[in-house]
Amino acid sequence: MAANLEVITTRVLEAPCEKRNSNNAKYIPRGPTYWNAGVFHRIYMEMEENFKIFVYEEGEPPIFHYGPMMDIYAIEGHFIQNIEVSHFRTKDPNIAHVYFLPFSVTMINEVLNETDSHVWGPMKRIALDYVNLVAGKYPYWNRSRGGDHFMLACHDKGPEISFTIPDLHKYSIQVLCNANTSEGFNPTKDVSIPEIYLPFGKTDGMIGGAPSSQRSILVFFAGGLHGSIRPVLFKHWENKDRDVQVHQYLPKGVSYYGMIRKSKYCICASGFEVASPRMVEALY
């Protein structure tokens, strides 16, 4: 694997040095966001061609190799399902760049925490037992202390469960919807994954809308009264302006997604947590 990475690094360094923008139509990145659009594009193409993920096969559904496909935590199930059949997946752990721990935090909570209480023991123990299992069976965890392993969690209990395993929390990549630094999210190694609400398990009928010029509402927000930002938002704007539609509860018969499609802008005000499908809904 080291030799493979050296070859890829050489290719990237030899990529055309096109600062900022590129006039070459083959280069998709444009604009001042990129220090070097050419190198960025080259790295991405190398990743598409060479990046490999090893998925540990140990464990049985519904906690392992399975996740929710509908509702607010649907990204867990869709991610796990897709990575199992992805072209990035390799059956040879010796050529993998990263290793996936295929447990679903949502299913851990659903199966082991039926009363939705905060009895953490069984939930933390199953994650710890799984890491101990693969660490004892394979050499990959111990050689990097989990630094090339990653876990996925859209459920808010993901960060707390990861604290149970010090190396997992400190060194591994946490792919989280709840990308809250106050709960241990580390932007230098962890990954924020978008949360999406799928009431029927698919995005059919949920994507797209009229252009901005054809939208009749300037700003829209609807959500519960919690956190430190929303009370201020409601104080200044709730039911104050026809063009600024701010609600705790939508009027009967009014569609949330219909309001999004009528609005030029959507406010994504954080509540107690930073995890919310609101940003994704506003974008798509």
The residues of the chain scoring below 70 in pLDDT are 1-8, 12-28, 114-118, 273-275
Reading the block at residue 11, the tokens are: 């290719």
User: Packing angle between helix 121-137 and helix 105-112, nearest 10 degrees?
Assistant: 130
- pLDDT, one tens digit per residue, over 28-39 is 677 788 887 778
Helix (H, G, I), strand (E, B) or coil at 93: helix
User: Where would I find the H helices in the chain?
Assistant: 2-13, 37-50, 74-85, 105-112, 121-137, 140-144, 158-162, 166-170, 230-237, 256-262, 278-283
Q: Locate 96 and state its tokens.
A: 């993998």
Amino acid letter at 33?
T
Tokens of 91: 């059956």
Burial of 112 (0-12, 13-18, 19+ CB in 10 A): middle
According to the model, what pLDDT value does residue 21 have?
A: 46
What is the structure's pLDDT at 115? 64
Output helix, strand, coil percentages for the chain, rounded to the nearest 5.
Answer: 40, 15, 50
Q: What is the DSSP letter of 97?
A: S
* Inter-residue contact 190 to 70 (CB < 8 Å): no
pTM, rounded to two decimals: 0.84
pLDDT at 185: 92
Q: Which two tokens mark 157?
A: 């209990």
134: nearest Cα among 164, 109, 111, 168: 168
| Sequential DSSP letters for 232-279 | HHHHHHTTT-SSEEEESSPPTT--HHHHHHHEEEE-----SSS--SHH
Measured N-to-C along each axis, helices 74-85 and 105-112 cross at an angle, to the nearest 10 degrees, of 120
Read off the pLDDT of residues 2-32 as tens digits, 9 standing for 90 and up.
666 666 677 766 665 544 444 555 556 777 8
